[in-house]
Amino acid sequence: METLVQQARQLFNIHLTGRQVTALLTYERELIAWNEKFNLTAIRQPEEIRLKHFLDSFSCVLAWRERPPTSLVDVGTGAGFPGLPLKILYPSMRLTLIESIGKKANFCRHLVDVLKLENVEVIHARAEEVGQDLRHREMYEWAVARAVANLPVLVEYLLPLVRVGGVMLSQKGASGPEEAHRAERAIRILGGNLRKLIPVTLPGIAEDRYLILVDKIAATPKMYPRRPGEPAKKPL
């Protein structure tokens, strides 16, 4: 864990406290234990969890620097990434996790209880359903997702949840620039404006990585998101 502490500081200027390190160790232990029963993630070794889950989640801070989100929704969070590591960094942030697979949503609820995290809601549902729910539609300062869908599809999951003036953040691999180009029409339709791509370097990972930032500049038309499954079948 000492290596993670050093890397977080060197790469992202994150200074982890003792309490935060303890929370991450608990997270790691619970993830390994649940993985033996439920197959939550293919990443199972502690060193890999720290690099490919925790440090990768921390890379989101490059998007907001000194102004962390007051509210954030993480779509397709899986076993809680990047939302829960970011909540550990920012305890006062209001966090909503959306996950369509029951065992993964249950793990997230379990971890929220174990870590005694406040102001966290875990929703077991499809993003398209939550995007049409007035309790969540256009209610968040930031919406994030990692490895959920191609960007032309993903923007229909995320932008309806972002309030005007807020930001959508997608964590992408080498295909990021090409996906951003293909998604420009969908971004415009849904009320967004592509701001920039931020390159991310993680130790020992050769593949290019990017944070794709989209500003929400206008309200999303009421018809979006479409019914579950439709964005993936017929991307905008």
Judge whether residue 169 has pLDDT over 90: yes
- Where is average pLDDT lowest: 34-43, 75-84, 104-113, 131-140? 34-43
In Å, how far are 5, 43, 87, 94 from 111, measured between CA atoms? 21, 17, 12, 16
Q: What's the pLDDT score for residue 86?
A: 98
Asked if pLDDT for residue 187 goes beyond 90, the answer is yes
Percent of the chain past pLDDT 70, that is, above it, reads 100
- The CA angle 23-24-26, to the nearest 5 degrees, is 65
Instruction: Report whether 80 contacts 110 (CB < 8 A).
Output: no
Select from 34, 53, 25 the least CA-distant residue to 147: 53
Distances (CA, A) of 7 to 27, 51, 84, 91, 126: 18, 9, 19, 21, 34
Which of 60, 79, 56, 78 lies closest to 69, judged by CA? 60
The whole-chain average pLDDT of the chain stands at: 96
Confidence of residue 44 (pLDDT cuts 50, 70, 90): confident
Which two three-digit tokens encode residue 57?
């989640």
Dihedral of the alpha carbons of 232, 234, 235, 236, in degrees to the nearest 10: -150
Confidence check: pLDDT of 147 > 90: no
- Where does residue 233 fall: left (phi above 0), alpha (psi -120 to 50 degrees), or beta otherwise? alpha
The gap between the terminal CA atoms of the chain, to the nearest Å, is 43
Which residues contact residue 70 at a Cβ distance below 8 angstroms, ignoring those fewer than 6 apart? 92, 93, 94, 141
Position 156 pLDDT exceeds 90:
yes
pLDDT 10s digits, 71-82: 999 999 999 999
Whole-model pTM over 0.95: yes
Q: What is the pLDDT of residue 40?
A: 87
The full set of domains in the chain, from first to last, is 66-233 (3.40.50.150)
pLDDT attached to residue 206: 87
Mean pLDDT value of segment 124-141: 98
Tell how strand 140-146 and strand 162-172 pair up. Answer: parallel
Question: pLDDT of 206-222, one tens digit each?
Answer: 899 999 999 999 999 99
Is residue 226 over pLDDT 90? yes
Residue 42, pLDDT score: 86
Confidence of residue 127 (pLDDT cuts 50, 70, 90): very high
Strands 120-124 and 94-99: parallel
Average pLDDT for 120-137: 98
Give the separation between CA 199 and CA 178, rounded to whole angstroms.
Answer: 14
